[in-house]
Amino acid sequence: MSLRVVFMGTPEFSAATLRAVADAGHEIVAVYSQPPRPAGRRGLELTKSPVHVLAEELGVEVRTPASLKGEDEQAAFRALNADVAVVVAYGLLLPKAILDGTRLGAFNGHASLLPRWRGAAPIQRAIMAGDAETGMMIMKMDEGLDTGPVGLTARVEIDPDMTAGELHDALMSVGATLMVEALAALEAGTLELKPQAEEGATYARKITKDETRINWSSPGREVHDRIRGLSPFRGAWCEIAIGGKPERVKLLGSSMAGRSGRPGEVLGDDLTVACGEGAVRLTKLQRAGGKPLDAAAFLRGASLRKGDRLS
């Protein structure tokens, strides 16, 4: 037996689950994804999402509506006669008519331990807050924002120097496996749904540009967590004087360092930088238009000396 599945997702994170659901033998009757977006240096080329590309490889119909609020779109969704909708980082709000448009409902793979970090950026927010663990949850969707009852949970430790990119990849794999397990239980009628706790809810709002500049007066732990929580996207940054001119440089990796000095002061030849409390050692950096470099390679093109200040 297999389920008739409508899959709804957009980025690489979602594509892993689409692949796993297809490999498990379920019938993917249609895929919904965000419309192709302008890409390339000039923004002239329309690029399909990773889910869109994979769906075409699988020979599945792809739909890219700008909204699901219209009656025609909702009727077309119901006409698929699907058993279940699988939703992973789709990017559109699902109206009640869509949530109720399949036999068993819509199930979401969400990258946090709900009710902590409901919303758009749970991976980045967990690291930026210094959380020691997170996870994947399979939740039956309701009309609230990530408020539905939870069927399955998998916990993942967040290592002290782990970046958002590394956590993304770990959760992507875990989430794909967990969704296949949830669909098997759903098909067998054994998936038990439990309401989320009322206490401890937090909201993982989208990352904004004004959060990405490093404030060296902040404690070292906060600086470190911000650098790794924004790596590789959007990328934390600061200004570094290179060749006598201030240059915006992305900071993509760091570790804690047990030293102190004036905020922003370079404390040695290993790119240890003082913070408001303690210090961090920068381990991966990227100049504008350049490739990410480890600290030693970066210093070969940017002569920073002890006592220099970053801003």
Task: Tell me the pLDDT band of 40, cut-offs 50, 70 and 90.
Answer: low
Residue 289 resides in a domain: yes
Selection from 147, 145, 154, 144 nearest residue 182 by Cα: 154
Query: Is the pLDDT score of 311 beyond 80?
Result: yes
Could you say which of 169, 203, 237 is where a domain stops?
203
Same domain, 157 and 19: yes
> Do 46 and 157 fall within a single domain?
yes
Residue 89's pLDDT is what? 97
Say whether both 56 and 171 belong to one domain: yes
32-41, 223-232, 270-279: segment of lowest average pLDDT:
32-41
pLDDT at residue 244 above 90?
no
pLDDT digits (tens, 9 = 90+) for 117-148: 999 999 999 999 999 999 999 999 999 999 99
The beta strands (E) that lie in 89-220 are given as: 106-110, 118-119, 133-140, 150-157, 203-204
E-strand ranges in 200-268 read 203-204, 236-242, 245-257
Q: Report the predicted TM-score, pTM, of the whole model to 2 decimal places.
A: 0.94
pLDDT of residue 39: 76
Query: Is pLDDT of 26 > 80?
Result: yes
Q: What is the CATH number of the domain that holds 247?
A: 3.10.25.10
5 touches 22 (CB < 8 A) = no
Evaluate if residue 106 carries a pLDDT over 90.
yes
One domain, residues 145 and 266: no
Residues 216 and 265 placed together within one structural domain of the fold: yes
* Residue 229 belongs to some domain of the structure: yes
Instruction: From 186, 203, 220, give the residue that closes a domain.
Output: 203
Give the residue-averaged pLDDT of 230-253: 93
pLDDT at 102 over 80: yes
188 and 214 in a common domain: no
pLDDT band at 32 (very low <50, low <70, confident <90, very high): very high
Cβ–Cβ < 8 Å for 266, 309: yes
- Phi/psi for 14 (5° steps) reads -75, -35
Q: What's residue 135's pLDDT? A: 98
Beta-carbon neighbour count of residue 43 at 10 Å?
Answer: 10
In the chain, pLDDT over 90 holds for what percent of residues?
Answer: 88
Binding-site residues from annotation for (6S)-5,6,7,8-tetrahydrofolate = 112-115
pLDDT tens-digit map of 202-228? 999 999 999 999 999 999 999 999 999
Residue 203, helix vs strand vs coil: strand
Average pLDDT over residues 108-118: 98
CB 106 within 8 A of CB 85: yes
Query: For residue 293, what are the contacts with CB-CB under 8 A and spacing of at least 6?
Result: 284, 285, 286, 287, 301
| 136 and 222 both lie in a single domain | no
Enumerate the known binding-site residues.
112-115
In the chain, what percentage of residues exceed pLDDT 70? Answer: 98
Give pLDDT, residue 99: 98
167 and 218 inside one domain: no
Q: Are residues 151 and 189 in the same domain?
A: yes
Supply 263's token pair.
């905020």
Output b/e per residue, 135-170; b: 16+ Cβ within 10 A: bbbbbbbeeeebebebbbeeebebeeebbbebbbeb
Indicate the residue among 168, 203, 238 that finishes a domain.
Answer: 203
Domain coverage including residue 215: 209-301
**Closest Cα to residue 137, out of 166, 170, 171?**
171
Total structural domains within the chain = 2
CATH number, domain with residue 124: 3.40.50.170
Residue 197, domain member (yes or no): yes
Q: Are residues 9 and 133 in the same domain?
A: yes
| Residue 310 covered by a domain | no
Q: Do 46 and 65 share a structural domain? A: yes
Residues 30 and 173 grouped into a single domain:
yes
Please determine, for residue 71, whether its predicted confidence score (pLDDT) is greater than 70: yes
**How confident is the prediction for the chain on average, in pLDDT?**
95
